[in-house]
């Protein structure tokens, strides 16, 4: 006789995975199988990085949930940006049989170079300290660039870009070039560019480091609005104590590892 029941439990990990246990009885034989149901956005295991003899990252393990905002802090030179670049698939970790990175259920170790570039364009957004907007293009055109790389039709990309400009309060600046925008406006355009392909996660490296206090505060609150209204996940490297403390989790790095 087959008897099945399902038990949902919260496990002890920080990313609060749900454990589904199926109890299956057949001819008095008991079989217990487990299926993990998780809201995890990023699972990074045993990430190390050397540049020659210099050890930059030392066996990093990190789990991040969907819709979570994580801040990574620490002194300059401890490996924060290197970790961000590795998680964002811009840099490779040291080769190891134990090392793996999974983003939104996809193990990126399995991807070819071309497949990795496609995955990055589809699933990852980046925001940098300096906006990196192309000076010859308007705000609207800069936002559309990742969508064009994604081969999104021009009309569809521009429609999405205008929606983002409206969401960020910049609809009146669509035709302006970067040198016609304030620092805060430039960075909000960079945020819109990061969002254009509906990424799974956004990596931000010192996103408010080049802004005045008022603009930085607006940007910080924008990240949480994007999480609340668009279900966005953020991993943010920052020296800004206010932003770091606002995050759902603040992780501190020393000597290439979390403390």
Whose tokens are 């990196």? That residue is 132
Nearest partner of 137 among 156, 120, 153, 161, judged by Cα: 161
Contacts of 38 (CB under 8 A, 6+ apart): 15, 17, 18
Cβ-count burial 216-227 (b if 16+ within 10 Å, e if not): bbebbebbeebb
- Tens-digit pLDDT profile for residues 215-229: 888 889 888 988 998
The pLDDT of residue 34: 35
C-alpha separations of 113 from 116, 120, 125 in Å: 5, 11, 18
Q: What is this structure's pTM?
A: 0.78
- Tens-digit pLDDT profile for residues 8-66: 333 333 333 333 333 333 333 433 333 334 588 999 999 999 999 899 999 999 999 99
Long-range contacts of 49-57 (CB under 8 A, 24+ apart): 49/79, 49/82, 49/86, 49/91, 49/93, 49/94, 49/256, 50/94, 55/256, 56/82, 56/256, 57/82, 57/83, 57/86, 57/93, 57/256, 57/257
The pLDDT of residue 209: 80
The pLDDT of residue 42: 94
Contacts of 112 (CB under 8 A, 6+ apart): none
Top pLDDT among 76 and 15 is at: 76
Of all residues in the chain, what percent carry a pLDDT higher than 90? 48
- Tens-digit pLDDT profile for residues 193-243: 988 988 989 999 988 887 788 888 888 988 898 899 888 899 999 998 989
What's the mean per-residue pLDDT of the chain? 82
The pLDDT of residue 38: 55
- Tens-digit pLDDT profile for residues 82-130: 999 999 998 999 988 789 999 998 898 888 888 898 899 889 989 887 7
Show the CA angle centred on residue 80, arms to residues 12 and 185, nearest 5°.
Answer: 105
């Amino acid at each position: 006789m087959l008897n099945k029941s399902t038990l949902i439990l919260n496990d002890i990990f920080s990313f609060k995975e749900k454990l589904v246990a199926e109890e299956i009885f057949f001819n008095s034989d008991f079989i217990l199988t487990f299926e993990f149901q998780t809201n995890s956005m990023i699972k990074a295991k045993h990430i190390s990085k050397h540049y020659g003899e210099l050890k930059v990252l030392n066996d990093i393990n990190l789990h991040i949930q969907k819709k979570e905002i994580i801040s990574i802090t620490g002194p300059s030179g401890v490996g924060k940006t290197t970790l961000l670049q590795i998680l964002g698939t811009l840099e490779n970790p040291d080769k190891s049989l134990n090392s793996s990175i999974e983003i939104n259920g996809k193990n990126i170790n399995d991807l070819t170079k071309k497949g990795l570039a496609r995955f990055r364009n589809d699933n990852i957004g980046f925001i940098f300290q300096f906006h990196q907007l192309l000076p010859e293009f308007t705000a609207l055109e800069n936002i559309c660039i990742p969508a064009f790389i994604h081969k999104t039709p021009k009309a569809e990309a521009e429609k999405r870009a205008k929606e983002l400009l409206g969401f960020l309060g910049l609809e009146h600046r669509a035709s302006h070039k970067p040198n016609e925008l304030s620092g805060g406006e430039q960075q909000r355009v960079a945020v819109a560019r990061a969002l254009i392909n509906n990424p799974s996660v956004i990596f931000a490296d010192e996103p408010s480091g080049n802004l005045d206090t008022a603009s930085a505060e607006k940007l910080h609150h924008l990240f949480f609005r994007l999480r609340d209204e668009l279900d966005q996940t953020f991993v943010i490297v920052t020296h800004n104590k206010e932003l770091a403390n606002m995050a759902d989790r603040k992780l501190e790095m020393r000597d290439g590892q979390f403390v």
